[in-house]
Amino acid sequence: MLYAHREQFYKVLNLVGRKRPYFTRNSNELRTPERINNTEIYVETHLNANSIVRLSKRIIKLFGYREDDLSIEVR
C-alpha cells in the first residue's frame, strides 16, 4: 500500500489511539517505535493482535478500500 499511496501516506499520521498516536515523525511519542522504510514516519509496534487488526482496518479505510478487502489467515 505504501507504494500505491506514496504521495498520501502521510495520512496515517491522523490515526491516534486513546493515549498516543499509532504513527508519528517523533519516535519519542511511541512506546516501541519502528521506523517505516523509506519514510520519516514511525509506527507503534507494541500492540496486541486485536489492536493490529483494528488498526489495519482503519488504515485500509483511510486509503479508500473496503474493510472486507483485508484478509487475515491464522495458522
Q: How confident is the model at residue 5, as a pLDDT?
A: 66
Read off the pTM: 0.86
Distances (CA, A) of 33 to 65, 74, 75: 26, 25, 27
Q: Average pLDDT, stretch 8-12?
A: 92
CA distance 75 to 57: 20
Domains and CATH numbers, the chain: 6-69 (1.20.1380.10)
User: What pLDDT is attached to residue 7?
Assistant: 75
CB atoms within 10 A of CB 75: 2
Cβ neighbours of 24 (radius 10 Å): 20
The answer, yes or no, to whether residue 4 has pLDDT greater than 70, is no
Q: Grid coordinates standing for 67?
A: 474493510
